Structure 1
Amino acid sequence: MNNNKPFVSIIVLNYNGKKWLKECFESLENLDYPKDKYEVIIGDNRSTDDSVEYVKENFPSIKILKFDKNYGFCKGNNLCAKEAKGEYLVILNNDTYVDRMWLKNLIEDISKDEKIISTVGKIFHPDSKLIWSAGGVIFPDGCGHYTGWFTSDSYKYNIQKYTGFGTGAGVLVEKKFFISTGGFDEYYFYTGEENDLGFRIWASGYKVKYIPSAVMYHYGGKTGSLSKYRTTPVIEFLVTRNKLYFILKNFDLNNVVKGILLHMFRSFAMIMYAIIHKNIYVPMAILKAYLFIIKDIKTILKNRKIFRKNKMVEDIKLYKLGIILGSGEWFKTYLDAMRNSERNINEGDVFAKKDAVNLEEENGEFIFVKATK
């Protein structure tokens, strides 16, 4: 039976996450999956909290890749993927833990349909028991939205279905496709890369499937300081920039125009809200992102040309499949998500940021630093 199961490489990227590693790696050691059919790789983004030494001492079977600098999420995972032996990769956050049957259930449907090359399970926040993600859909303004975000579990989240993308907190993807199409697009650096990968899979004629029986838990929210907007100027800049980049790189031309208009509408609303609340950095970060996109348009168009060479499925089909939401449904889903997020954060602050790290810009590069309150 073991010979029928594919070899899987589980990649855990780490930056000063020592306190999370015990729970994460112990859950991976207890998987109901043949021990000779999976490996665990930790890619360390130059931690300063003795994470590497801790893993060496307590989890000697784990393969360690120690980087010379902090490469961020995209490049860090790409470097690990190149060293992985598996037929399939699992990108897993360090502040997670998984159920025993998680990997077995993620893999099960892969063998049933050769078009399914990526799967994602049901992800809970361990403290609140609210859903973190039950798959994902792509908004026409370039944003990726986690299905079920901040809602209680219910029957509708127990149904297997195709989904737009899997969260980078715990997604399985075929290594051959991942490597051959460039892995995570390193232009993003932080946020947006997961829905970009999902869109690429669907646009290439393959599928992503949501598997509710593959259960895992994600503490989450460990990047970004605790504030009214739960973000920093650099993160706000990247979120805005990356949505615009997603639209310009991926969508068919008619949807580029629509996407930009929707993005501008939401950006304007955010700017007005921030000004009313006397928060100046949000408008400045958004404006900076738009200016960056204009200045970097040649690079973006070059990346668009590369992507469209291999694009086999037009946007209109992805709209019909529900991979991209229509404008009306997008607006309703967005408002619901904002209400759920604000209500549950206010009730219990499930994103306790005492261990957060911030993104900052230094000499033209993005770096992670310890957050301060």
Structure 2
Amino acid sequence: MICPHCLKSIDDNASVCPGCGSYISAHEQASHIEFVFCEGCGARLSPHDRTCPKCGRPAPGILSAKAAASDLAAGRTASFPRVSPLGAESEHGRFNVVDTETAEPQRDPLEAAPVFDDADADATAQPPVRRPRRRGIPRRLIAAAVVTALLALAAVFVVRDPLGVMPGIYGSVRSAARDMFPSRQADGDEQGSSEESKGEKSGSQAGHETALLDDNEAYTRLSGIYQRLGAYQDRLAEAINEYNGGFIAKDRAKREAASKPAYAMRDSVKQTIDEINGLKLSETSAFLPDVEHMRSLATWMYERIDVLCHSWDISLSVAAGDLPLHHKNEILQPLRDALDKSGKNQSLVMFETNYAAWKPHQPTS
């Protein structure tokens, strides 16, 4: 254990310190096994500690007369708590100041201040002032109103056309549509041209549409249509050759030139169908079946060339800078759709099967 007088390590059973010669009582011998804890942080202290090594607080019992005497004997006064003069004055001289008029001690200003409890503090505290929330117009409603106003202004601009720019816009849109889908534009052009041609052709064709044809006239007209349908075979072969050589060409001008035979042939076949539909025969005419035969042959020929035109539409719609080769499957899709389950084009099969058998014959007198 440690000697309480000189703080030297001595034997646990020794009654006299060999260092200082002080007598060690039995109580002091047994006190070394007791645990001492700091009153500030609760750390465990050894019996010889005078201050806590963690927080610096004096150890319990250090201010006792016995411990103080041992510290004074050992010259250990640095760990003693010291009281400042201001604190001593505040503790001991608080009521020493006496008022000369009333002969009563003056209190500290802090003690003279009124003391409020929690209830009084809650009563005196004023609730925070809440400003009323300003509710404006929702942003969504404002945005919807702005969009509606813009749409209304755009509609008025388009309808009234104050600047006179809408005809030019319409023309540019039509030209773009004509370049992008020439076959669809051709249908509209055909309708317009057919209406114009009706006004111009007031001669023989007008006479054929209004008057009934006799057998000789019907034979002449049907024979010419039959020969024309046969000549379409050669034009179709030419259109197919141009298609095979240019439907995936990189140059758009080359593709447009290669597509012209197909579009021109389709226009011709369409005019032939219109001519057949305009034939007027009597109900007893022997050429009524021939008219139906020519109409069927012309329809099959139109379906064959129309497939190529639809494929050309896709080829010509490829944007500038893009290669048609990358869209080859899309371009060839109309040709695949025209085939049946056996892989044949029924329009081609029906035309070649019936063309020779449906030749008109001269009527017998």
Bucket of the pairwise TM-score, normalised by the shorter protein: under 0.3
> Which protein has the bigger strand share?
1
TM-score (norm 1): 0.22
Q: Which has the higher contact order (CA 8 A, sep 6+)?
A: 1
> Which protein has the bigger helix share?
2
TM-score (norm 2): 0.22
Larger radius of gyration: 2
